[in-house]
Structure 1
């Protein structure tokens, strides 16, 4: 029988310093997702897909994708059909995490696109190292500048497919202080798309 990494993932979930909700997987969806991604449960990504529709981390601030849950897409559906990367998570502010396979001479790593700078950042961590760090408490420091007093209560009220839109936006000089920004719940796909499109438009205008 194939050895699953879920035991390790579960231990990290249990030891997390903030709440982590595991959304139990639907076996049929999980099997289809694993086949589409061509991965096994020996990997941490495969173990998450096989055993969870998703993980809601730190009061739901981060949604780690698994085999899909009401309004939360699965990792296979969110993968890029024209490229090699796989979307593995979204944060409530519209940030996106993707797993990018190894480049020549390199290793596969997780990259993050943030709403505060509209740039892709290579975290220089493989999927297992990234998720372990997330479950060990890395989100607290990583998101220090994107949080405001009372954020936990606001985030906990959201559905899994909702995010928080802030205006002025976090990437603008006026939007750096989110405690003074106007905030509202919006569909998460809409929020992610807004920031991705904004980044493309800004890059296009800079190239002219």
Structure 2
């Protein structure tokens, strides 16, 4: 079975709601010109055969389409390759050792997940993401995120990295993912300057 067929099989066997977006040829060609990525690798297969993949309207794997790998990586001020995001503005990066790290929006720090890209994919499709995000899911999250654009996320005030009495007590708003990421890294840089 080729790699893409096995991905489709894994999606079919998942208990989660998974959407595979269509490839945009222009985006695909831009990515191929800019990056040297092995098309036969698992990452290359996701990147070049899909326009991105959305899991439970919460996790978004980048591809060559609406979830544009190129554009999303342009938002990111560091050199790691970002392969996915969540609706909160959390980022998943592929490190030099090919393992995945998570940029957590509640503490603005990189947390090594100590899993490979293939293990990350399995976790996204079949793993216990509910427990992973348990502290950051408000009562109406399922209904709220069904309606948001794939270019947007949910911003909180007070911010997730600031103290607050409860998640439910924070004001929530749909804003562009570019604004969420910019705000996170601007604040992170300010913290570094004050140390």
2:131 to 141, 146, 158: 141
Q: Is the 8 A contact 1:163 1:187 kept in 2?
A: yes
Q: Which moved more, 1:128-137 or 1:182-191?
A: 128-137
Q: Distance in 2 between matches of 1:174 and 1:13?
A: 37
CA distance change for structure 1 residues 14 and 31 in 2, over 3 Å: closer, same or farther? Answer: farther
1:153 to 113, 125, 143: 143
CA distance change for structure 1 residues 142 and 27 in 2, over 3 Å: closer, same or farther? Answer: same
1:94 to 89, 92, 112: 89
Q: Is the 8 A contact 1:164 1:186 kept in 2?
A: yes
Aligned to 1:44: 42
Unmatched runs of 5 consecutive residues or more in structure 2: none
Q: TM-score normalized by structure 1?
A: 0.84
CA RMSD, Structure 1 to Structure 2 (Å): 2.1
Aligned to 2:188: 199
1:68 to 56, 62, 65: 65
Q: Distance in 1 between matches of 2:108 and 2:19?
A: 28
Q: Distance in 2 between matches of 1:181 and 1:114?
A: 18
Aligned to 1:105: none
In the alignment of these two chains, the number of paired residues is 194
Q: Distance in 2 between matches of 1:64 and 1:200?
A: 26
1:55 equivalent to 2:53? Answer yes
Q: Is the 8 A contact 1:95 1:112 kept in 2?
A: yes
Q: Which moved more, 1:118-127 or 1:38-47?
A: 38-47
SS at match of 2:73: coil
